[in-house]
Amino acid sequence: MRSDIRGPIWFWLYRFLVLFPLVIGAVFRPPGAGRGFLLSFAVACGYVGLSIVALEFSLVARLKHVAGAFGQDALEQFHRQMAYVATLFLLAHPILLLACGYPLGLLNPFSSGSTWAWRWGTIGLCFLLVLMVLSMGYKLFRMTYEWWHATHQLLAPAVLIAALLHIFKVSGFTGTPPMKALWVVYASGFLGITIYHRIYMPLQIWRRPWRVVRNVTELGDSRTLVLQPVDHKGLSFEPGQFAWLSLGKTPFHGEEHPISFSSSAENPAGAEVSFTIKALGDWSSTVVPKIQPGTRVWVDGPYGVFSPDRDQGPGYVLLGGGIGITPLYSMCLTMADRGDLRPILLFYGAREFQELTFRFELDQLTRRMNLKCIYVLEHASADWHGETGLINVNLLRRYLPRQYQRFQYFICGPLAMMDAMERVLPAMGIAPENIHTERIGDV
């Protein structure tokens, strides 16, 4: 099934699962249940918020049928946005109940007047608020990625478990057998996805270890890890895709990092693959430079739909900034190895010359393929004769060919650059379906 068909199907299924508890609550209404609008709306907010929480893990569990329709990058952005939506609904739930006349003391889990039905609800809400605060402000609290990831993995299931205990102890709308059966099904789905993601997938990865053969220093405070498969045929990937890398004796741990391939996708079975990592966060700054040849690495991938293999065009415009050059470099390498003569324009922005990762390798590729590189330095030295400033509409218009609106555009770089290009390109008449993005983060 084509991804453009799968996407709407998965999205409609997601909306159905979020709203289905409202249908069950309306159809199987218990006798004598409160029928006031405000009370019904309060219960509905709780249903919708909890449904979103129950489905959150499915968005980031790397289910390939789902990720292949949207791209893991898009799913993770949607996951973050829906976490805010779920929090708003679940905050509205007790506030509206208080507006219906329920006493404030019921929200105090230490109050003798409270019941375990209310206590579990309050505990779950507190867990959720802590989770959201840590997610939004972990840099402010100077938490390492590993600590943030660990708290996320502990608090997210705790929120769901406390909320389910709350549901099974209250009566009224939630006390009907069909409603309880529905939440058993939702909880079972969450458990099944958890087992798949945290047990089944690591077992599969454990059978395919990799080892580091080179740790190469690159321009731009970056490192390239060249990996070799150990007693297996390696993997095939599309240019522009990424994989999750982890170190350790086994893949059964939570420290994983999404890294783009920086090698050609035209490699034979059993060939080496490369990943290039910029020092942006704790792991990439302190751990990666110390990785020695022979180190065992676990690779979960490939993932992503950010690839010219999926979006063909008469030519390509690649816009990169910082380490966002990595998937774009893989695209160029692959097309050179394939002998693809379609025109490619690469706009590559950096603060200074020493941050142009793969600068010399890209210059060599211009002699093998129909590639033109436009380097743009924000802080150029006096002897720099190239473009300066930022990539903007005037710069693009100076270099783009007459038929530029028919080209495919791939953008990867810092958030400010991504946001700017997502405004500029549509204003230049580029169709939305010809614009493809991949956002990078700190690792």
Taking residues 227-249, report their average pLDDT.
94
Q: Do residues 71 and 165 share a domain?
A: yes
pLDDT of residue 33: 57
The answer to whether position 106 is within a domain reads: yes
Q: Is 240 exposed, middle or buried (0-12, 13-18, 19+ CB in 10 A)?
A: buried
pLDDT of residue 2: 43
Q: Do residues 186 and 95 share a domain?
A: yes
Of 180, 202, 280, 186, whose CA–CA distance to 248 is shortest? Answer: 202
% of the chain beyond a pLDDT of 70: 94
The distance in angstroms from the start CA to the end CA of the chain is 34
Q: Do residues 215 and 250 share a domain?
A: yes
The structural domain count of the chain equals 3
The pLDDT tens digits of the residues spanning 366-402 come to 999 999 999 999 988 888 988 999 999 999 999 998 8
d(C-alpha 389, C-alpha 318), whole Å: 18
Q: Do residues 285 and 378 share a domain?
A: no
- Identify the band that residue 97 occupies on the pLDDT scale cut at 50, 70 and 90: confident
- Identify the band that residue 173 occupies on the pLDDT scale cut at 50, 70 and 90: low
Domain that holds residue 124: 3-205
d(C-alpha 362, C-alpha 415), whole Å: 23
Taking residues 222-227, report their average pLDDT.
96
d(C-alpha 432, C-alpha 44), whole Å: 36
Q: Do residues 59 and 176 share a domain?
A: yes
Residue where one domain finishes, among candidates 188, 205, 222: 205
pLDDT of residue 35: 61
- Give 433's DSSP letter: G
The answer to whether position 311 is within a domain reads: no
Amino acid sitting at position 120: W
Q: Do residues 45 and 147 share a domain?
A: yes
% of the chain beyond a pLDDT of 90: 54
Lowest mean pLDDT: which of 7-21, 55-69, 94-108?
55-69
Give the count of beta carbons closer than 10 Å to the beta carbon of residue 147.
14
Amino acid sitting at position 436: H
For the entire predicted model, the pTM comes to 0.84
The pLDDT tens digits of the residues spanning 413-433 come to 988 888 899 999 999 999 999
Choice between 110 and 265, residue whose per-residue pLDDT is larger: 265
User: What is the CATH classification number for the domain harbouring 366?
Assistant: 3.40.50.80
Choice between 41 and 112, residue whose per-residue pLDDT is larger: 41
d(C-alpha 265, C-alpha 327), whole Å: 11
